[in-house]
Amino acid sequence: MPGQIRVNREGPLAEIVFDHPERRNAITGDMWRTIPRVAAELDADESVRVVVLRGEGDVAFVSGADISQFEEQRSGEGSKTYDLENSIAFDAISSISKPVIAAIHGFCIGGGCAIALTADLRYCADDAVFAIPAARLGLGYQAGGIATLSRIVGEPRAKEIFMTARRFDAHEAEAMGLVNRVLPKAELNAFIQKTVEAIGENAPLTLKAAKAAFVDLARAESKRRPDEVRQAIRDCMQSEDYAEGVRAFLEKRRPAFRGR
């Protein structure tokens, strides 16, 4: 089956690469099923401090789910399994306890946009094109995905994106808050690398506690887990890194955090 999920590692950085360039990095069923395993492995790897999502090649981040498989995998009873696998993949990326960055260029359509929304930070090249064309395919989107988009861009814009199914460019995505920043395409990778280095110098347990709080705030109030957030904060205050941070500040030097 063409298409694969690749992992690149370099120091504290791990990249999840959507590698299916002959179909603009469209996600196949096998790719959806691979994502949860890869996400769990990177989350458990203490040497990884930042995860970057990116698409292979120069044309697309992810152009959506692979429509060529829809008749076989996303029709009838099979659609329930397919939608469940999608949801599990999105949840797996969202559940990574480390900062996740989406490096977006070219097409970021449908499922690709949903993948980008699982990231904590989204930076895009000026050639990025966004859309959620479910209404042009007759697809029903899960309420969770609509809720995530509404939380990020606001309900009126989310309704427009879904109801018109139109494409919009990088600068409009930035204006609505879908992406954090737009950069010239030639500068995107260098900016991502600089951002990864800046995050990698920070205390991992502090970042983990902050992300736990953000994730919990995104849950429905009845499903929040305040005890988990409080424990993550206590882990920071009892850590060697906290002592190191205070010492480094007093000694006017850069701290060397170890994530413990």
C-alpha–C-alpha distance, residues 260 and 258, integer Å? 6
Q: Is the pLDDT of residue 57 over 70?
A: yes
Confidence of residue 143 (pLDDT cuts 50, 70, 90): confident
Nearest-5° Cα angle at 39, 105 to 215: 85
Q: Is the pLDDT of residue 73 over 70?
A: no
Work out the mean pLDDT of the chain and round it to a whole number.
92
Residues 185-227: tens digit of each pLDDT: 999 999 999 999 999 999 999 999 999 999 999 888 888 998 9
Strand ranges across the sheet with 129-131: 60-62, 107-109, 129-131, 168-169
Separation in Å, CA 215 to CA 151, 158, 230, 245: 12, 20, 13, 25
Q: Measuring CA to CA, which residue among 102, 111, 95 is closest to residue 39? A: 95
* pLDDT (mean) for 105-116: 96
Task: Say which residue the tokens 């590698």 belong to.
Answer: 19
Instruction: Output the pLDDT for position 76.
Output: 60
